[in-house]
Chains A and B, each alone.
Chain A
Amino acid sequence: DTAVSQTPKYLVTQMGNDKSIKCEQNLGHDTMYWYKQDSKKFLKIMFSYNNKELIINETVPNRFSPKSPDKAHLNLHINSLELGDSAVYFCASSQGGFGNTIYFGEGSWLTVV
């Protein structure tokens, strides 16, 4: 069983479109995250939810909106896609303390053309 699963894995779409990436974790964790990895492999936190409450909201465009319907799910919706949104988006989850491991999904490769 995949612990943190994301769909779709690959997404090619045109500029201006709206798209969503879905994430589910079956680890029973209370915290979920979205990270963005750019073309230079740099990883940056975008959002984090703890028990469905938004606790991290980095400086990302308003076109990006996370939604957490329950503790096990965290979706990312992107409006009006731009070329610069092309990246790999990773969902992750963790439980409790700061020393605990954050588990990552396989990533969603988004290409905007």
Chain B
Amino acid sequence: AQSVTQLGSHVSVSEGALVLLRCNYSSSVPPYLFWYVQYPNQGLQLLLKYTSAATLVKGINGFEAEFKKSETSFHLTKPSAHMSDAAEYFCAVRTNTGRRALTFGSGTRLQVQP
């Protein structure tokens, strides 16, 4: 079975500061990994995904994530936070031996202080 752990349910950064949201996965087979963002009262939007090509993945809105197999991690980063980045962020995993559905982490709420 696959699972995802997101460390830190709340992260607060200042505008312009580095954003780092942590995600560790557990899977016995190569995983597909995803980051989604949810703005208040909205659905989930894909930020980026890892599908076994390049380990450094660039996404929308200046976000990127690096797949590190040795650390079983897929942390999300952005060099400079913007007020509009305030949202809930979800890491998710899927494998080709499991169900088609995504298994989500518990989410991290990002606050951006002016």
Contact = CB atoms under 8 A, between A and B. Distances in A.
Interface of A: 4, 31, 33, 35, 40-45, 48, 50, 55-56, 90, 92, 94, 97-99, 101-107, 109
A56 B49 contact: no
B43 interface: yes
B51 A41 contact: no
B100 A105 contact: no
B70 interface: no
Interface in B74-114: 88, 90, 94-96, 99-104, 106-107, 109
A56 B99 CA distance: 7
A42 B9 CA distance: 11
Contact of B95 (A33, A40, A98, A104): A98
B96 A56 contact: no
A48 B104 contact: no
B52 interface: yes
Given A50-B100, A56-B99, A99-B32, A43 B90 contact: yes
Given A41-B106, A45-B99, A48-B99, A99 B52 contact: yes
B49 A101 contact: yes
A4 to B, nearest CB: 8
14 contacts: A41-B88, A41-B107, A42-B104, A42-B106, A43-B44, A43-B107, A45-B103, A55-B99, A56-B101, A90-B43, A94-B100, A97-B96, A102-B46, A106-B42
A99 B49 contact: yes
Contact of B42 (A43, A92, A107): A107
Contacts of A55: 99-100
Closest 6 pairs between A and B when the two form their complex, measured CB to CB: A99-B51, A45-B101, A104-B44, A43-B104, A98-B96, A104-B43
A105 B109 CA distance: 20
Contacts of A98: 32, 94-96, 100
Contacts of A40: 106
Nearest to A55: B100
Given A44-B104, A98-B32, A102-B102, 17 more contacts: A31-B100, A40-B106, A41-B106, A42-B106, A42-B107, A43-B44, A45-B101, A56-B101, A92-B44, A99-B32, A99-B51, A101-B46, A102-B46, A103-B46, A104-B43, A106-B42, A106-B43
